[in-house]
Structure 1
Amino acid sequence: MDRVDHTLLELLQRDGRMSAQALSEVVNLSARATLNRIHKLEDEGHIEGYRALLARQSIGEHVSVFAEIALKDQRQATVQRFEQAMVACPEVIACYLVSGRYDYLVRLACRDLNHYRELTNTWIDDVGLGVDKVVTSTELQTVKEFAGFPLMVRTTR
């Protein structure tokens, strides 16, 4: 990847609907050459997909909760069942395996705190998931939302 590819990734990460023509004007290539580069970046797996970011107020009231979850054991079967449950749960909007006192950091979007409590109680009661402990932090205000990864341009010597 060269500097043009990095620029395209940065621009598309900010606005995935930017036209090939608009992108081409920034990177000083033809629209066709720019589109070819974008297709190559997609084919090589640098671009995994495109999605719309919804305005949170448009989807109705909800509570955003961060849950630190510790499993009872680290057996592969337990880990797989837990991770499959997180992937299948629509309320789970992000789930990370982390190091430290807890095994997972999970971000959830729930109707209200009662909905969150019912959901996590279900996880704790499901022996197969192996959930030992859930520690909750409720989001009070979003200061900065994820808007893409910083692109570090490698310099060659």
Structure 2
Amino acid sequence: MQLDRADLKLLELLQRDGRATVQALSEAINLSARATLNRVRKLEAAGVIQSYRAMLQRAALGEQVVVFAEIALKDQRQAVVQRFERRMAATPEVVGCWVVSGRYDYLVRIACPHLADYHRLINAWLDEAALGVEKIVTNVELQTIKEFQGFPVPR
């Protein structure tokens, strides 16, 4: 899909506030409300806009330990990789998971109420031979300087 300047501006605005009204969006991009709504629907239909979410204040959920775990697999066969990736996708405590280059295969961001919960979680992964985890290196998040707020939109 070819994105023009108005589409890019809409994407930028919607990343900042997914609940913005069509009227507010139309004023920001200088189009009619109908034309703006049509553009938003087209972006949704094309999959450019995948979903809308609420950004939660983490402190409202209670104290949490957040860690970045660098995970290396013992085995790179597709069946093992797919099994591991399915487990990461299905684990609620896993709030982000990326395939990375370098000494480790994955960078996984995990949020747990207590460090003991994290320890139980990773021990279960290490104990499950079929999951194929060789090594986990833990980096505890001490302070969040900037949380993900959307991708940069080209100007």
Q: Tell me the amino acid that sits aligned with residue 73 of structure 1.
A: D
What whole-Å deviation, never above 9, does each CA across 1:27-77 have from its counterpart, x for those lacking one?
011111100000000011100000001100111111101000000010000
- The CA RMSD over aligned residues, in Å, is 0.6
* Equivalent position of 1:92 in the other structure: 94
Return the alpha-carbon distance in structure 2 between the equivalents of residues 81 and 67 of structure 1. Answer: 18
* Equivalent position of 1:36 in the other structure: 38
* Equivalent position of 2:14 in the other structure: 12
Find the residue that maps to 2:8 and give its secondary structure: helix
Q: Percent identity?
A: 65
* Equivalent position of 2:52 in the other structure: 50
Return the alpha-carbon distance in structure 1 between the equivalents of residues 153 and 35 of structure 2. Answer: 22
Structure 1, unaligned runs of 5 or more: none
Normalised by the length of structure 2, the TM-score is 0.97
Structure 2, unaligned runs of 5 or more: none
* Equivalent position of 1:60 in the other structure: 62
Return the alpha-carbon distance in structure 2 between the equivalents of residues 68 and 33 of structure 1. Answer: 46
Q: Tell me the amino acid that sits aligned with residue 84 of structure 2.
A: F
Return the alpha-carbon distance in structure 1 between the equivalents of residues 146 and 84 of structure 2. Answer: 28
Which of 113, 122, 128 is the matching residue for 1:111? 113
Residue 19 of structure 1 and its aligned partner are, at CA, apart by 0.3
Residue 152 of structure 1 and its aligned partner are, at CA, apart by 1.7
Which of 126, 129, 136 is the matching residue for 2:128? 126
What whole-Å deviation, never above 9, does each CA across 1:3-41 have from its counterpart, x for those lacking one?
000000000011000000000001011111100000000
Find the residue that maps to 1:52 and give its secondary structure: coil
Find the residue that maps to 1:38 and give its secondary structure: helix
Normalised by the length of structure 1, the TM-score is 0.96
Q: Tell me the amino acid that sits aligned with residue 107 of structure 1.
A: R
Moved segments of 4+, more than 3 Å: none
